[in-house]
Amino acid sequence: MADYEFLSVAEVPAYLAAYPELAARIDVERIASVDEIGDGNLNLVFLVKDEAGRGVVLKQALPYVRMSGGSWSMTPERERHEVESLTAHRALVPDLVVEVLHHDEKRHIFAMEDLSDHSVWRPALNVGKVHNGVAERVGTYIGAVAFGTSLFALDRQQLADSQASAINPELCTITEDLVFTEPSVDAGRNAVLPANEADAAALSADTVFVDAMGRAKYWFMTCAEALIHGDLHTGSVMVRGAGDGTDADSVKVFDSEFAFFGPVAFDIGATWANYVLAASRAYALGEDARAEWALGLVEQTWRGFEDEFRRRWPERRDARVWRDTFLEERLAAWRAQSWLFAAAKMSRRIVGYAKVTDVETLPPDLREGAARGVLAAARAAVRVGPDTRAALFAQVCGGELVAHRTGR
C-alpha cells in the first residue's frame, strides 16, 4: 500500500493552484485540458494546457513499475534522483536539459516545462524524421556532465555530498539485471519471436559475449566517475524542428531517474546502441540511406562528447597530476568501454524485458532479421580491439544489420 496519494486528472487543476511557482506558469482558472500522457515504463505523466496555450507537465513516480501493472515494486524516491540530476545537469548545459519548475517530495511529484512543441526522438526516428545536430548535442551534454559533475570540477566535499545523495541502488539493480545479466542469462523475463529463439540461444552460449558483459557490469558497479543520466536512450531526448534533414532547433534531455555516480561511457554506449536500433529499423524497411545516417550518429555523439570534455579540461581542479597524458588515457578508456556498454544495451532491447518500438513495431518477417542483426552486432562489438574508433563501431554494426535482414 502506498503511503502517498496518486495524482488524478481531476485533481490536477487544484494541485497546480496550490503552488505559486506553478500557478505563475499557467492560468489555473482557465485550464483547457489535462491529459495523462505517460507512455514510458514507469511513471504517471500529465500534460496540462490553459486556454492561452501555456502548459506544464507533472510527473509522479509510482511505487511500482507501471508496465508491470503493479506486480514489480520500485522505490518512488526515483523522482528525487531525477530532479537532482536534471537540476545539476541543467546548471551545466541549460539549453540541453528540461527545466524543473517544482518538486513535491512527499507525493513524489515534480513539474517540468511543457515541451509539447517537441517530439520524443525515438518515435520521430521511427517515422523517418531526420533531425540533424541532435546526436552531437547529446554528446555535448554527456561531455559537460562527465566533467562538471566529477572530481575534475567539484571540490572534495561537494563530490562526497553529491555522491551520497545520488546513491540509487534499486534503479541500478534494474540496470544490472536487465542490461548486463539477463540478455544472456534468462531470469524468466526474456522473450523473442520463435524465429529468433536460436539467435537468443547463440547469444547465451557466446562465452566471449558473456565474459564481456561480466566486465561491463563490473565497470557499471564500480566506476563512480560522474553523475550520469543512467538511461540515455532516444526516448530520453526531445527534439524540435522540421525533421527533414535540417538542423533541430532545440534538443532537450529528460527522464534521468536512473541517475547515479557511474561510468561516463555508459551514457555514450546507450546512445550508440539506440542509433544501431534505429538503423536496424531503417535497413529492415529498405531505407538504407537513412540507416547509414543513423549509424553516422555514433561518431557525432562521440565528437560532441570529446570536444566538450576537451573544452572544459583546462578548468580541471588538479592540473599538477591530471596532465594532458591523463586526458588522452581517459578518452581512450571511455571509447573502449562505450563499445561494451553499447553491446549490452543493444542485446537487452532485443531479448530482455522492456523492448523498443524501433524493432517491435516492425512486421514479424522484417523484425526477425532486424533482431538477428542487432544481436549479431552486439556480439561483433565485444570482439573489436579497444583502440577502435567510433566510426568503425558503426561500420561493424551496419555490416551485421545488412547481412541479416529478412523479408525482402
Q: From the CB of 40, what's the least distance to Mg ion, in Å?
A: 5
**Window of 127-135, 174-182, 241-249, 387-395 that interacts with ligand SR1 by CB under 6 A:** 174-182
Minimum CB separation of residue 258 from ligand SR1 in Å reads: 6
* Dist. CA 179–CA 113, nearest whole Å: 31
247 strand-pairing partners: 132
Query: Least separation, in Å, of the C-beta of 254 and Mg ion?
Result: 9
Q: What are the percentages of helix, strand and coil residues in the chain, rounded to 5?
A: 55, 15, 35
Among 16-24, 100-108, 170-178, 220-228, which window interacts with ligand SR1 (CB under 6 A)? 170-178
- Residue 267 interacts with Mg ion (CB under 5 A): yes or no: no
Range 229-248, binding Mg ion (CB under 5 A) = 231
Cell for 240? 524540435
Please choose, from the candidates 315, 297, 316, 294, the residue with its C-alpha nearest in 3D space to the C-alpha of residue 305: 297
231 belongs to the binding site for ligand SR1 (CB under 6 A): yes
Q: For residues 136 and 231, which CB has a smaller minimum distance to ligand SR1 in the complex?
A: 231
Interacting residues with ligand SR1 between 316 and 355 (CB under 6 A): 354
CA distances from 220 to 133, 213, 214, 260, 301 (A): 28, 10, 10, 10, 20
The neighbouring-strand residues paired with 55 are 49
Candidates 13, 41, 312, 327: give the one binding ligand SR1 (CB under 6 A).
Answer: 41
Least distance CB 276 / ligand SR1 (angstroms):
16
What DSSP state is assigned to residue 188?
S
Please identify which residue in the block is written with the cell numbers 525482402: 408
CB of 177 to ligand SR1, least distance (A): 9
The residue from 34, 125, 174, 253 that contacts ligand SR1 (CB under 6 A) is 174
Query: Taking the alpha carbons of 187, 276, 340, 225 in that order, is the dihedral positive or negative?
Result: negative
Of 33 and 173, the one with the shorter C-beta distance to ligand SR1 is 173
Look at residues 355, 341, 352 and name the one whose alpha carbon lies nearest to residue 281.
355
C-beta of 85 vs 175, nearer to ligand SR1: 175
Q: Binding segment for Mg ion among 79-87, 103-111, 195-203, 252-260 (CB under 5 A)?
A: 252-260
Cα distances (Å, whole numbers) of residue 51 to 22, 29, 56, 87: 16, 9, 13, 29
CA Rg, the chain, in Å? 21
Q: Among ligand SR1, Mg ion, none, what binds residue 195 when CB lies within 5 to 8 Å by partner kind?
A: none
Label residues 60-77 b or e (16+ Cβ within 10 Å = b): bbbbbbbeeeeeeebbbb
Rounded to the nearest angstrom, the gap between the alpha carbon of residue 231 and the centroid of all alpha carbons in its chain is 3
| Binding site partner of 159, from ligand SR1, Mg ion, none, Cβ cut-off 5-8 A by kind | none
Determine which residue in the list 104, 225, 255, 299 makes contact with Mg ion, applying CB under 5 A: 255
Q: Which is nearer to ligand SR1, 26 or 232 (CB)?
A: 232
| Spatial contact of 167 and 342, defined as CB atoms under 8 Å apart | no
Q: How many residues bind Mg ion (CB under 5 A)?
A: 3
Q: Residue 29: how many CA atoms within 13 Å on its side-chain side?
A: 0
Nearer to ligand SR1 among residue 231 and residue 358 (C-beta): 231
- Binding footprint of Mg ion on the chain (CB under 5 A): 40, 231, 255
- Binding footprint of ligand SR1 on the chain (CB under 6 A): 40-42, 65, 174-175, 178, 231, 354
